[in-house]
Amino acid sequence: MAKRKVVGPLETEFYKSILSIMPIICVDLVIQKEGQVLLIKRNNSPAKDHWWFPGGRIMKGEKIKETAERKALEEVGLLCSYNKILGVEDTYFACEDEMESDIHTINIICEMLCNKFIEIKLDNNHSKFIWLNINNLENYKLHKGVLRPLRKLIRNE
């Protein structure tokens, strides 16, 4: 059997042209600790200055589990294990700020298991993190792309 080749990251202009014509498949990571979920504040569009799940796009040749574990380490510095898919969401971002086109993502919501929460280490794409109490969602201004999966998690769907 041939070995899978993972392709990425893509050159910026090429990636922008892809964004303008097709959806991007991403993972959103649900990392929980004591009834709280980890969210990070985005520095870049889309959803600039919004709280979001750690995560990102799947590279060609990469499995969902591999992407989820890679993004946990890259974005927040946590060694986590992929557990299961909690759901799939569509997110559509209208063109804003420095974006050159609307963006459509298909988000695979992944539950992650982390044995140790030593220290959150954010990458350059994020400015802050919070451990959000999922029973007090009304206290936070959250994008519907984050609210929908959290509400499903609360309802155990």
Domain boundaries, the chain: 24-155
Res. 63: pLDDT tops 60 = yes
Higher-confidence residue: 125 or 101?
125
Return the percentage of the chain with pLDDT > 70, whole number. 92
Reported as a pLDDT band with limits 50, 70 and 90, residue 139 is confident
CA distances from 35 to 50, 87, 110, 153 (A): 21, 19, 16, 11
For residues 107-135, average pLDDT: 90
How do beta strands 126-133 and 55-57 pair?
unpaired
Q: Which pLDDT score, from 0 to 100, does residue 11 have? A: 82
The CATH superfamily assigned to 24-155 is Nucleoside Triphosphate Pyrophosphohydrolase (3.90.79.10)
State the amino acid at position 138 in one-letter form.
E
Res. 99: pLDDT tops 60 = no
pTM: 0.87
Per-residue model confidence as pLDDT tens digits over 9-32: 778 788 788 878 899 999 999 999
Give the whole-angstrom CA distance, residue 18 versus residue 24: 8
Higher-confidence residue: 149 or 1?
149
